Structure 1
Amino acid sequence: MYQEERLVAIVDYLKEHNRITTERICTLLQVSRDTARRDLVKLEEQNAIIRTRGGAILPSVHQKIQGYSGRLKTVSEEKNKIGKLAASLIQNGDRVILDASTTVQACAKHLNADDCTVITNSINLAEVLSDKDGIEIYLLGGKLEKEHRFLYGASVIEKLSSYHVDKALIGVVGISEHGITIEHEEDGLVKRKMIQQAKQVIALADYSKLGSTGFYQYAELSEIDLLITDRLPDRAFCDLFDLNGVELLVTDQDERKG
């Protein structure tokens, strides 16, 4: 086997298992320890791996979060289904908090409840709801985050503390054993307060967010009552949600759990 083929095999193994030892390379590729070390050096020079004592790991990948307008253009069918299912849970007369995520905005587009009060820090979401009859809108005033289109700051958090609602619908960047996470602390602080003011907390996350961990943790898993997603997670994730009392609702009727 040529070195180029071995390098591809090592990276493929890392993508599946996250780490590899020198001994594993020797067994997997039937090469000597010296050859395995040379291969790791080559991959390190290509910035494809990070060498560790006795082996290697893949470098962390931090994806830049698109601005709100860019994310709206790429709202997937999965997000739309999640939003539609979430909207069906909002009943006539409910008082709800909706955050500034694009998945929650998808919920707002499908919202048909009457005599419903919505509190939000999203100027886009408020505009969507302004065309709907029977919905009273409270737009939280604060500093505008221009790129991501949400209002934040001490005034938003202080105002939120005056409201007590039936449900809070929250979008996430990451949901894992590390809890619920987001990339922007300012947004996270507002979401944390939203969670505290609701009787029921509903998180909306497409399958790609499961297992991902963002920069700032704003809630523990146990603070979420219900997660709406588009695909049934694996057994380990289902067990994790059960352990933390999180009910799971999947957009595919055949895959609902809980």
Structure 2
Amino acid sequence: MYQEERLVSILEFLKENNRISVDQIGALFDVSRDTARRDLVRLEEENAIVRTRGGAILPSVHDEIKTYSNRLKTVSEEKKVIGKMAASLIYSSDRVILDASTTVQSCAEQIENIDCTVITNSINQAEVLSFKPEVNIQLLGGALQKEHRFLYGSSVVEKLSEYHVDKAFIGVVGISEKGLTIAHEEDGVVKRKMIQQANQVIVLADHTKLGNTDFFRFANLTDIDLLITDKTPPIAFRELLTKSNVELLTADQETGGED
């Protein structure tokens, strides 16, 4: 096998397994350790890998977090389905928290016009709900994060500590064995307090968020009660949820879809 062919195969292996060792390269392609090291040097020179002690991993790729307004323009059908399922869990007389995420906004848009109380740090959520006369809105005051449309800071956290609610609906950038993660620490600190003030914590995340880990961890899997997503996750992720006592609700289960 020529080196170019091995390099392609090494990258394919990395995409499936996340890391590869010099010994694995030798065993897979029947080459010496020196040849395996030269392959890794070549891939490193092409910025295709990051060399580690005894092997290599793929370089980290961080997706740019678009502004809230831009994310709203691309709200997917998956988020709308998740939002509808979440909204169906809000009943008359409920007291709930909605965080400042576009998936949770899909929930806000589909809440029935019923006598319930919503606490939020999102100016978008408050605006959406202002057109539902029966819904009572408590907008948390604090510093405004203009690009992502949420209020944050010590005043928000302190005010949240005064409330106790039935349910909190939380959006994430990533949910994995490392917990619930978000791009901005100031947002995560508020979400963490929201979770602490709720009897039931419900996370809304489309399938692209499952297994991902972003910058700031604001909660563990064991801190949540229910995950609503659009597709049945792989069995390994379902086992992770079961181990953490997290209930799973998926749109494809509701519509009779398969794994």
TM score, norm. by length of structure 1: 0.95
Deviations along 1:39-84, whole A, 9 cap, x unmatched?
1111001111111222211112222211111111111111111011
Code of the residue aligned with 1:221 in structure 2: it is: L
Contact 1:168 1:194 in 2 (8 A): yes
Amino acid at match of 1:46: E
Amino acid across the alignment from 2:58: L
Contact 1:92–1:113 (Cα < 8 Å) also in 2: no
Q: Alignment partner of 2:132: what SS?
A: coil
Question: For the residues of structure 1 that align with 2:149 and 2:219, how far apart are their CA atoms?
Answer: 22
Q: Tell me the residue number matched to 1:96.
A: 96
Q: Which residue of 1 aligns with 2:194?
A: 194
Q: CA–CA distance in 1 between the matches of 2:15 and 2:136?
A: 49
| Secondary structure at 1:92 match in 2 | coil
- Whether the aligned pair in 1 keeps the contact of 2:113 and 2:132 (CA below 8 Å) is no
1:189 and 1:54 mapped to 2: Cα distance? 38
Structure 2 Cα separation of the partners of residues 244 and 132 of structure 1? 36
Q: Which residue of 2 aligns with 1:179?
A: 179
Residues 1:39 and 2:39 aligned together = yes
CA distance in 1, matches of 2:145, 2:34: 53
Match of 2:127 in 1: 127
- Counterpart for residue 14 of structure 1: 14
Answer yes or no: is the 8 Å Cα contact 2:117–2:136 preserved in 1.
yes
State, as a whole percentage, how many aligned pairs show the same letter. Answer: 69
Q: Deviations over 1:150-206 (max 9, x none)?
A: 000011111111111111100011111111111111111111111111111100011
Alignment match, 2:75? 75
Check the 8 A contact 1:182/1:217 in 2, yes or no. Answer: yes
What is residue 203 of structure 2 aligned with on the other side?
Answer: 203
Residue 213 (structure 1) aligns with:
213
Cα offset, 1:34, TM superposition: 2.7
How far the C-alpha of 1:23 sits from its partner, in A, is 2.4
Structure 1: where are the runs of 5+ without partners? none
Distance 1:242 1:88 in 2: 23
Quote the offset at 1:113 in angstroms: 4.5
Deviation of residue 31 (structure 1)? 3.1
Question: CA–CA distance in 1 between the matches of 2:71 and 2:56?
Answer: 34
The Cα of 1:221 is off from its aligned counterpart by 1.0
Q: Which runs of 5+ in 2 are unaligned?
A: none
1:216-255 deviation per Cα after TM superposition (whole angstroms, max 9, x unaligned): 1111111101110111122222122112111110012136
- Paired residue secondary structure (1:127): helix
**Match of 1:237, SS?**
helix
CA–CA distance in structure 1, aligned partners of residues 134 and 155 of structure 2? 27
CA distance in 1, matches of 2:222, 2:33: 46
Q: Secondary structure at the match of 2:90?
A: coil
Secondary structure in 2 matching 1:167: strand
SS of aligned partner of 1:63: coil
Residue 235 of structure 1 pairs with residue 243 of structure 2: no
1:85-124 alpha-carbon deviations (Å, 9 max, x no partner) = 0001101121111000000000011111410111111111
Moved more, 32-41 or 142-151: 32-41
For the aligned residues, what is the CA RMSD?
1.5
Q: Which amino acid aligns with 1:209?
A: K
CA distance in 1, matches of 2:21, 2:230: 36
Instruction: State the aligned residue count.
Output: 256
- The runs of 4+ residues in structure 1 deviating greater than 4 Å are none
Counterpart code for 1:161: S
CA separation in 1, counterparts of 2:251 and 2:101? 18
TM-score normalized with structure 2 length: 0.94
Instruction: Supply the distance in 2 between the matched residues of 1:2 and 1:126 (Cα, whole angstroms).
Output: 61
> Partner amino acid for 1:149?
R
Q: 2:140 maps to which residue? A: 140
TM-fit CA distance, 1:28: 2.3
Aligned counterparts, 1:163-174, within 5 A: 163-174=163-174
- Alignment partners' CA distance in 1, 2:53 and 2:102: 42
- For 1:244, give the aligned amino acid: S
